[in-house]
Amino acid sequence: MENQVTKTLKGSIKHWYLSLIVGVLFIILGFWILRTPVEAYITLALLFSISFFVNGIIEIFFSISNRKELSSWGWFLTTGIIDLLFGLWLMSSPELSVSVLPIYLGLMLLFRSVSAIGFSFELQNYGSKQWGWLLALGALGILFSFILIWNPIVAGITIVFWTAMAFIVYGISRVFISFRFKKLKSEIAKFSKE
């Protein structure tokens, strides 16, 4: 017999695969940037605008569809809105300054990394044994963000490399989150059958 808690948990973590899609896209984009640095630098503004815009839409949808199940849904909504607005701003100003771009990227990565760390603690509250991996990835993201923010000249010289690394780390963290969501969803379904 299902109680109200079981019913709520059973319907939770809808659309876990959206996080997987975002993660895979960021990983692919990160490796593409590493493989084609000259072309990547030329098209960086366009790729950033598109990726942030699309990611913003996906995160807004994900957060709204899980607002009753996740206490941290506001973080996803906030990052989604920021990504959407940042993507629109980038699309309207393709002539981004090389000296300003590392600071923007660093701040966005810092916010996302803090969000990943916060979400890792939520996974711990749900009983996930691998929450520490997401915590470590969030800490690594903070390290990369400080490199971008505090050393914009060095970061400007190596922006293609640091951008690729940031995208890959963020993509891995999103893939990790998606599999935690999927596992949590199956555990909830198994629990509700008992």
21-58 residue pLDDT tens: 999 999 999 999 889 877 776 677 676 678 888 999 99
Alpha-carbon distance of 112 to 127, in angstroms, equals: 23
Q: How many CB atoms lie within 10 A of CB 142?
A: 18
Alpha-carbon distance of 183 to 194, in angstroms, equals: 17
Ranges 88-92, 132-136, 155-159: which has the least confidence: 155-159
Helices assigned H by DSSP within 71-158: 73-92, 101-125, 131-150, 152-157
Q: What is the pLDDT of residue 172?
A: 94
161's CB contacts (< 8 A; 6+ apart) are 34, 37
For residue 173, pLDDT over 70 is answered with yes
DSSP class of residue 76? H
DSSP class of residue 12? -
For residue 1, pLDDT over 80 is answered with no
Q: What is the pLDDT of residue 142?
A: 94
Binned at pLDDT 50, 70 and 90, residue 106 comes out as confident
pTM over 0.85, yes/no: no
Q: What is the pLDDT of residue 67?
A: 86
Longest dimension (CA), the chain: 62
Q: What is the pLDDT of residue 96?
A: 62
Average pLDDT, the chain: 82
Q: What is the pLDDT of residue 8?
A: 53
Question: Would you say 145 and 107 are in contact if contact means Cβ atoms under 8 Å apart?
Answer: yes
63-102 residue pLDDT tens: 999 888 888 888 889 989 998 998 888 788 766 655 566 7
Question: 22 is written with which tokens?
Answer: 């975002």
Q: Higher-confidence residue: 175 or 5?
A: 175
Q: What is the pLDDT of residue 36?
A: 86
Q: How many CB atoms lie within 10 A of CB 82?
A: 17
DSSP class of residue 99? T
